[in-house]
Amino acid sequence: MTTHALDFDPTEKEANILAFLHTFAENAMRPASIIADAHEHERPQGAIEALHQLQSGGMGYRSGSAVDGTGDGSPAAKALTSILRAEELSWGAASILLSRPGPGLGGAAIQASGTPAQKEQWLKRYEDGSVRFGAMALTESNAGSDVSAIETTAVQDGDHWLLNGTKIFATNGACADVVVVWATVDKSKGKDGIRAFIVEKGTPGFSIGRLEHKMGIRASETAELVFQDCRIPRANLLGEENPSAEKKGFKGAMATFDLTRPGVAAMAVGIARAALEHTVQVLESESGGFHLGYGRSRAHLSALQDAVQAMDAQIEAARLLARRAAYLLDQKQPNALEASMAKAKAGRVVVDVCATCVELLGPAALTRAHPLEMWLRDSKVFDIFEGTGQVQRLVIARRILGYTSKELP
């Protein structure tokens, strides 16, 4: 097995930026996320705009950041730098970080699979400092992890494509200027018939359906997108249009997640870290109302100490997996396995840590007045979106064992 020399320590400059982002996350993002959680579909514009200003100044985090230049100017440090920032900002409010302006998952898909002309046309617009959003539409009511079940169709009609279907769970879908839509051009080909298409806001036949009411990350907008005879130019087919490209269409689009899964893992680590730090702070405080009642706090219980050290170790393991996946991106090396490992590990860790922290602090931690209640609800989606934990573990096992689903009996 190939080994790599790893250096995850931030530079002095980056450490100063992280310290600033920590203060911003604590004072601007976390209070806004609590208010937004109680008032779903009322976007926290002040915090979002402030985050956009940081991003425009090169201090933020963007999805697909390995390729869109949000690092410190060093070509070999963009992805790793970005996920360090993602963890810090998610420590404050992952739901607001998900709401940040930028090309989003749609931009990452264009970067991963688009032609040079498409990258120039569709990504440059996000570099002028204006507030713009991008999105990707993949999931359907009957198609999530199994994308071969996608029912949205794309039919060529002269110099155009006609899209028909309904997508759900599109992050920033309602406010996006550009959406990358996955559809089948030939249902009989299964995954090999799946291609991605670039759809611009305002295109006739493209409309916004409902905004989802969610258990968690309620500051983040999640929309249903409807396509009814949506006519887009033939050039909006993502990637090259030829038989060879068609065979690679699905794999090329899936490369999107190799770019973004390390960042999602880092966001999960940020939430888990926030939950554990808060729990330790409460346990250590005699004024927090959680002491044993005879002069000793719960922090002196050996069982509690074991739980705390176990959570801290799991958070560190998830953090290192995320950073290794990002490091490989920076080195322009394949990271599909490592990205899946990071996503699977962090998605499970954040759910377990938040649940354990609630158990340690007792019933009060389940009230809306307590941040742990919100973090527990926020945590679950990180084990689901961008590839469920179950599917990630299946992919990891098959890669390690050296076979694919096509080789199963």
Residues 78 and 73: their CA atoms lie apart, in Å, by 8
291 DSSP 8-state letter: S
Cβ atoms of residues 339 and 261 within 8 Å: yes
DSSP 368: T
Q: Catalytic annotation on 386?
A: yes
Integer Cα distance of 340 and 241 in angstroms: 29
- Rg over alpha carbons for the chain, rounded to the nearest Å, is 22
| Measured torsion, CA atoms of residues 297, 300, 305, 307, in degrees rounded to the nearest 10 | -40
Phi, psi torsion values for 88, nearest 5 degrees: -65, -45
CA 388, CA 140: separation in Å to the nearest integer? Answer: 15
Give Cα 245 to chain centroid, integer Å: 27
Amino acid at 111: Q
Query: Any alpha helices (H) in 285-364, and if so which ranges?
Result: 302-330, 336-361
Angstrom distance (rounded) from CA 200 to CA 266:
30
Rounded-to-integer distance, Cα 173 and Cα 167, Å: 10
Q: Is 212 exposed, middle or buried (0-12, 13-18, 19+ CB in 10 A)?
A: middle
Catalytic residue (one of 87, 140, 338, 386): 386
Give yes or no for a contact between 249 and 330, defined as CB atoms under 8 angstroms apart: no
Asked if 283 and 362 count as a contact pair (C-beta separation under 8 A), the reply is no
Contact criterion met (CB below 8 Å) for 55 and 97 = no
Q: Please report which helix (H) or strand (E) contains residue 53, including its range.
A: helix 45-56
The residues annotated with a catalytic role in the active site are: 386
